[in-house]
Structure 1
Amino acid sequence: MPRKTADITRSPPRRSTASRKGADRPGADGTPRVPGPGEGKRGERGYLGYLLRQAHAAVRLKMERTLADLGVTSPQFAVLTMLNAYPGLSGADVARLTFLTPQTVGVIIRNLERDGAILMTPHPVHGRIQQWTLTPRGATLLKACRERVLELEKRLAKGLDGKAEITIRRWLAGIAAELQES
């Protein structure tokens, strides 16, 4: 198979963000303007699945920035939250509940254990299964994280009345339950 020449495989140079700001149409070089969140297909005309993913990415990025100075990542927060809600979970259970791979959860668990936030105990019947629980340090860390995340939750629900928020929560939970079954 013949090799592609460099000019075929090389991407055109990217224009700076400053040169794209405020552009409502393609630039002089014909490069299309990338719509911002809420515009075009990234807005109300977009696919629901894409809009959910876009919203998730925005929330996760904001959460990462909110928790950064505590030394906690969004996946670590999810693991701490699930272990607080359901003490004694195995790593496999945590992976399923947090939508993370078992390998990722293994790394997170090792780091949280090293930092003294969680503690491993062997399962009383199945000795090979390790169960994880929060330590007092982990509970304190989770509390600090939750205070910040609750501020983000308030921001997410801003403009929603109680009925609308309940409807959205039911809708999101229903999507997860329905699509997991199929």
Structure 2
Amino acid sequence: MSRDGVGIDLETSIGYALKEASSALRTAMEEVLRPLDMTVTRYSCLELLAQRPGSSNSELARGAFVTRQSMNVLLQTLEREGLVTRPTEAPVGKALPTRLTARGRRSLEQATAAVRSVEVRMLSGMTAAERDSAFRSLQSIVQALRGDENRA
């Protein structure tokens, strides 16, 4: 409870600390990606495609935490810029599988190095054991909030 008895105490709220950390991380990532003409969402999309070639618009939107409409606009832009390719017609159903081009891979390599530098800075004050513990704790939080039945 906060000092005045209303709401939560922001100084001890894990949820508030998570939101603050998320905001700080996004700001730091945007700062290093901006000179590369990249946003966090754009980077996320390219990274997802590198790890999951052929992903659909819906899969990419879920992975990048944006709406399908926003992802569709982004994919159209990336396609115009020659960073991704999509077939003109869906091979099966409605989904247009998207793939990185060579240019998209080069762009992603630069962005990944920039994002990696942010993560190194973010974790610089932690020991390996603290990083492992933090990672496990964050995974546990996500599982609990999603109601995953297979929690450790």
Shift of 1:181: 2.5
Unaligned ranges ≥5, structure 2: 1-8
Residue aligning to 1:173 = 139
Aligned to 1:101: 67
Number of aligned residues? 139
Q: Give me the whole-angstrom Cα distance separating, in 2, the residues matched to 1:46 and 1:102.
A: 35
In structure 1, distance between residues paired with 2:133 and 2:95: 38
CA shift for structure 1 position 173: 2.1
Q: 1:125 to 1:106 in 2, by over 3 A?
A: closer
Aligned with residue 91 of structure 2, among 124, 129, 148: 124
Cα displacement (A) at 1:123: 4.5
Larger-gyration structure (1/2): 1
Aligned to 1:114: 80
Give, in angstroms, the shift of residue 119 of structure 1.
0.8
Structure with more relative contact order (C-alpha pairs < 8 Å, separation 6 or more)? 2
- Please identify, of 146-155 and 163-172, the stretch whose mean Cα deviation from structure 2 is larger: 163-172
Identical-pair percentage: 29
* Superposed displacement of residue 106, structure 1: 1.3
Q: CA deviation at 1:62?
A: 1.2
Give the whole-Å Cα distance in 2 for the aligned partners of 1:104 and 1:64.
18
Counterpart in the other structure of 2:47: 81
State the match for 1:141 in structure 2: 107
* Residue-by-residue CA offset, 1:91-121 (whole Å, 9 max, x unaligned): 0011111111112111211111111111113
Using structure 2 for the length normalisation, give the TM-score: 0.84
Deviation at 1:170, TM superposition (A): 1.6
1:48 is displaced (CA, Å) by: 1.1
Paired with 2:144 and 2:48, the residues of 1 have a C-alpha distance of 22
